[in-house]
Amino acid sequence: MGEPALKGGSTGAGASRPDRTRYEDDLYTWVQEQVAFLRAGRVDALDLEHIAEELEGVSKSEFAKLQSALRVLVMHMLKWDQQPEHRTPSWIFSIREQRRRYARIVATSPGLKPRVDEALSEAYPDARDWASDETHLPPDEFPPECPYDWDDILNRPFDFDSVKKQRP
């Protein structure tokens, strides 16, 4: 692979070079250039400070995806338990989907496994608030701490027989 097309940017040492794209000016082009430098073995040309920031951001993003899946999953479980008369098939579908998302996230980023309890404890207050908003019940109608253990969260059955039958 040849030298990437570069213009006005920063380098690993932080010095500005007119032939490089600056991180602050064009993230997409900067990323493409950094990838080209890596593949060409041009470690001296890398913008290490910003690469470290971006990698840290990827890590935070993966944790946020884990929290999001747990937040939606637990919110539907809370609604399910609090309002059995309002159960719908869509709640079951959402629970199933969020369980699949959770499984994909920890499969593709197994380093998150030691942080699942932290993710759940940070996601639960939002799940509780969302459940309160969607059910129009006060938040204190829901437990202050997550009432579910991991077996409940990942394996508890939710079946269509308990869904209120809709009239045609």
Interval 100-140: pLDDT, tens:
999 999 999 999 999 999 999 999 999 999 999 999 999 99
From its phi and psi, is residue 6 left (phi > 0), alpha (psi between -120 and 50) or beta? beta
Residues 22 and 69 in one domain: no
Residues 25 and 66 in one domain: no
Range of the domain at 81: 57-162
pLDDT at 45: 94
Measured CA angle at 119 (ends 89, 94), to 5 deg? 10
pLDDT confidence tier of residue 10, bands split at 50, 70 and 90: very low
Residues 69 and 149 in one domain: yes
Residue 147 contacts residue 74 (beta carbons within 8 Å): no
Helix (H) or strand (E) run with residue 36 in it? helix 27-39
Residues 65 and 34 in one domain: no
Q: Is residue 26 part of a domain?
A: yes
Q: Is residue 1 part of a domain?
A: no
Domain count for the chain: 2
Residues 87 and 155 in one domain: yes
For the stretch 28-62, pLDDT in tens is 999 999 999 999 999 999 999 999 999 999 999 99
